[in-house]
A and B are shown apart, each in its own frame.
Chain A
Amino acid sequence: DAKTTQPNSMESNEEEPVHLPCNHSTISGTDYIHWYRQLPSQGPEYVIHGLTSNVNNRMASLAIAEDRKSSTLILHRATLRDAAVYYCILRLDNYGQNFVFGPGTRLSVLP
């Protein structure tokens, strides 16, 4: 699987937007970009995924670069509950979902 690179940690103020970057320069044309997050003392949970076009859902937005070598997870208004480790994962298609979770980005939200 192609490798992703994320910052180890980021900080945000409550109620401000947060942009979490992910670099995946070796992405293949059929790799989907997945984002999961892990709240403290919990298992990971799905956030969003996409292939080429930007995506929005109730939790976040995913902005994908035109060359697909990077993407950004956008939390429009950070809350204290959004403090978590965010994982960017590449996976071919929706099948054989043996994800490899890297260290992710630890997001701290300041009140």
Chain B
Amino acid sequence: DADVTQTPRNRITKTGKRIMLECSQTKGHDRMYWYRQDPGLGLRLIYYSFDVKDINKGEISDGYSVSRQAQAKFSLSLESAIPNQTALYFCATSDGELRGYNEQFFGPGTRLTVL
């Protein structure tokens, strides 16, 4: 089974709808991240969380919110989806307790289309 899973993998929705993307991990990591990828722009950080009680805005948090329900779960919400939020969304995790390098592990991505 994959260590970082994302649901759904694909979603088509309409403008104005509320959408939730979910991320779960079995790696036991305390740090979790949400990124957005647009063609030709690489990945941009939306939100990140270093533990259950910690939530931080990333580079492009406007229009998004997150919830860290447990150490293993980190959800991304679009309260009122708009077409320019059409993108590929990735969740990632890393282990903040390691003294060495804290590699980020990415999920398979969720492709979201807002019509």
Evaluate whether A103 and B94 lie within 8 angstroms (CB atoms) in the complex, with A97-B31, A98-B45 already known: no
Cross-interface CB contact of B90 among A43, A87, A102, cutoff 8 Å: A43
Using a Cβ–Cβ cut-off of 8 Å, how many residues does chain A contribute to the interface with B? 19
Size bracket, chain B contacts: 20 to 34
Would you call the interface of chain A mostly helix, strand, loop, or mixed? Answer: loop
When each residue 89-111 of chain A gets 1 if its CB lies under 8 Å from chain B and 0 otherwise, what string results? 00000110111111110000000
| Residues on B with beta carbons closer than 8 Å to the beta carbon of A41 | 109
Nearest residue (CB) in A for B94 is A97
CA–CA, A103 to B40, complex, Å? 6
Chain B's nearest CB lies how many Å from the CB of A50? 10
Cross-interface CB contact of B106 among A43, A94, A98, A100, cutoff 8 Å: A43
Instruction: Please determine whether B90 and A44 come into contact, CB atoms closer than 8 angstroms.
Output: yes
Name which of A41, A46, A94, A97 has the most chain B CB atoms within 10 A of its CB: A97
Instruction: Please determine whether A99 and B45 come into contact, CB atoms closer than 8 angstroms.
Output: yes
CA–CA, A32 to B102, complex, Å? 12
B69-87, CB < 8 A from A = none
Instruction: Please determine whether B108 and A43 come into contact, CB atoms closer than 8 angstroms.
Output: yes
